[in-house]
Amino acid sequence: MNYDEVENWLCNDLPFFQNQGRIAYKENLENISDLLNKIGNPQNNFKCIHVAGTNGKGSVSYMLSKLLKEQNYRVGLFTSPHLLTFRERIQLNNEYIDKESVIQFVKKFKSLSQFVNFSFFEFTTAMAFWFFNKKNVDIAIIECGLGGRLDSTNVIHPILSIITSVSLDHANILGNNLISIANEKAGIIKKNIPVLISSQNKNDVINVFSERAKKLSSSIFYTKKIVNKYSNINLPSYQLFNIELVKSAKSILSQLGIKFSKNKSYKIIESYYKKNFFIGRWTIIQKKPLIICDIAHNIQGLKSVFSQLRKENKKKHIVLGFSSDKDLIEIFKIINLDATYYFCSCSNPRVLNPKKYFSLIKSINKNFFLFNNPIDAVKEIIDKKSDDEMVFVTGSSFIVADVLSIFR
């Protein structure tokens, strides 16, 4: 098998949540545990940090990996979803896993499907652990895929657990209220392992975490509230909470023996952001006209990016689409920016055709257009509009991925 054949097998032959939704989700850790046991439990051979949450976990994971790499540590990063290539998910020192390693793992362990009915995410998680062990990482940042308690990554024994902001998302799997979702996220808290919680969370959510931490004799830490010290830093405001998490994590890790230089962490992180930061997170993909994309896809995430978008003093064109499991009634309550909207379906079957929620679209009383795909929408805007206008792409990682594909 060559690399293209391997990626096709991974993404199309295995049960894949990104394409199929809930039916690809395994509600236990038996499969992943069995699979890891068969390949030698590589996850037990390196230090790791576990990151869960509804919004911000990808950004926090990426910033932490950058910060640790800056200290000359050999750093693994496992994150999801991928937007342009499967290899984005598994990184060593912020470089994508090499194609040969992906091919090697699949050829070596594909036959285990006879004994373990693994999903795409289970197999990919095992690949990440195998790769990090093979490359002798000093530490790996492991981002949960979905939830926490039953997520395939929740077989590790981290030196630190981190929970970012928690809000309503994937309600058909995690529960339709914050307490239920918080209980799922709290599942990554381990006995006698410190846990760091974002101050963005509501008190009743924090109570869930503190009760579990107390039960497991785990030290619990909270980030400080955001203050004006960041006023001179050119970052989207919603990322400031994520910076506070990374700063707090740095302090805890220092107590655990991880050495850092005295450089101010937020200054280091700002420099990364200027270099285009983390793909799909307020990514500037073109400056004239300005085109920004962000994979915000739930109510809290969209509130954050719309708040940031208000600061852009340009005529706005917003290209967006939504997966079928989203609460569109609540989402449309926050679609109130003065802009022209382009509602799209896309190449992924989980994204709704906008004709299915046409009544909601009409209810916002804004100029709008419907498109079969976001690529045609963006091309039409670019062809007809001037450089003093801007395009913002959001609502779904699938919508963003399609647009990014024409700028790669």
Pick the range with the lowest mean pLDDT from 244-253, 261-270, 293-302, 392-401: 261-270
- State yes or no: pLDDT of 369 exceeds 70: yes
User: How is domain 3-274 classified at the CATH fold level?
Assistant: UDP-N-acetylmuramoyl-L-alanine:D-glutamate ligase (3.40.1190)
Give residue 167's pLDDT band: very low, low, confident or very high (50, 70, 90): confident
The residue-averaged pLDDT of 358-377 equals 94
Give residue 384's pLDDT band: very low, low, confident or very high (50, 70, 90): confident
Model pLDDT for residues 25-62, shown as the tens digit of each residue = 567 799 999 999 999 999 999 999 999 998 889 999 99
The residue-averaged pLDDT of 397-404 equals 94
| DSSP one-letter string for 4-60 | HHHHHIIIIIS--HHHHGGGG--SSSHHHHHHHHHTT-GGGGSEEEEEE-SBSHHHH
Model pLDDT for residues 123-143, shown as the tens digit of each residue = 999 999 999 999 999 999 999
When the pLDDT of each residue in the chain is averaged and rounded to a whole number, the result is 89
| DSSP one-letter string for 263-321 | S-HHHHHHHHHHTT-STTSSEEEEETTEEEE----SHHHHHHHHHHHTT--SEEEEEE-
Stronger pLDDT, 406 or 271, i.e. the higher one: 406
Amino acid 405: pLDDT: 92
How many Å apart are CA 245 and CA 139, to the nearest integer? 18
- State yes or no: pLDDT of 216 exceeds 90: yes
Within 8 A by CB and 6+ apart from 143, the residues are 51, 52, 57, 58, 61, 77, 78, 79, 80, 153
Give residue 324's pLDDT band: very low, low, confident or very high (50, 70, 90): confident
Verdict on whether the full-model pTM lies above 0.75: yes
The helix-helix angle for 238-255 and 265-274 (nearest 10°) equals: 130
What CATH class has 283-404?
alpha beta
Stronger pLDDT, 116 or 58, i.e. the higher one: 58
Residue 80: closest CA among 90, 69, 95, 92: 90
The answer to whether the beta carbons of residues 71 and 256 sit under 8 Å apart is no
73 C-beta neighbours (distance < 10 Å), count: 18
Domain locations in the chain as residue ranges = 3-274, 283-404
Q: What percent of the chain has pLDDT over 90?
A: 64
